[in-house]
Amino acid sequence: MSDRVIQVGLLGCGVVGSGTLATLRASADAIAQSLGARLEVRRICVRDLGRPRPPEVDRSLLTTDPAAVIDDPAIDIVAELMGGVEPARTYLLRALRNGKQVVTANKELIARAGHDLLLAAKERRLDFHFEGSVAGGIPIIRALKVALAANRIEQVIGIVNGTTNYILTRMAAEGLPFEAALAEAQAHGY
């Protein structure tokens, strides 16, 4: 395995960010094997330094200054885990201008600003990955762009939203009323 290290900066560390950190830690060897490089989280921008965090969050990496992530020349990849459109859009455009590869699972951001972000990435020949924001995280974007590029796909129809799938499954399998299934989904971070 290579000694190469890819430095990652996170924007946000709530439910999704903490889960991302836990996954990166638990899958570190498999990720390193697949990439031929180790991923290392260098800095994490949060809104509130005093907020309780799970044990997988190294508090020494925390900052409230987004520039510490976006403008750090050592950071290769910026992962947006904040949610909402602003300031996420502004931060990611700046990260792209700074030559960072970008990853997000933010559905609202992709719906409202995805075109601008994709264009900014394309102009700079950078990657902008958003597969986690589409179809409940089903790995379909790469398949559509690469494996099925020669096919003429006119539409994809279905309920492919993780929250909706969770609610409908709980209603069908357990007979929960909608309100109870929705409250349960929200409690689980959907």
Residue 119 pLDDT more than 70?
Answer: yes
93: nearest Cα among 70, 74, 72, 73: 70
- CATH number of 36's domain: 3.40.50.720
In a domain, 178, yes or no: no
pLDDT at res. 113: 92
- Please, which pLDDT band fits residue 32 given cuts at 50, 70 and 90? very high
Contact in structure between 103 and 133 (CB atoms under 8 Å): no
Give residue 89's domain range.
5-134
In a domain, 147, yes or no: no
In a domain, 179, yes or no: no
pLDDT tens-place string over residues 164-181: 888 888 999 999 999 999
In a domain, 73, yes or no: yes
The 10 Å CB-count burial string (b at 16+, else e) for 99-131 is ebbbbbbbbebbebbbeebeebbeeeebebbbb
pLDDT at res. 151: 73
pTM for the model stands at: 0.76
In a domain, 95, yes or no: yes
The 10 Å CB-count burial string (b at 16+, else e) for 137-164 is eeeeeeeeeeeeeeeeeeeeeeeeebbe
In a domain, 109, yes or no: yes
Residue 107 pLDDT more than 90?
Answer: no
In a domain, 181, yes or no: no
pLDDT at res. 138: 54
Which tokens is 139 given? 């790995």
Q: What percent of the chain has pLDDT over 70?
A: 85
Cα separation, 108 vs 188, in Å, equals: 19
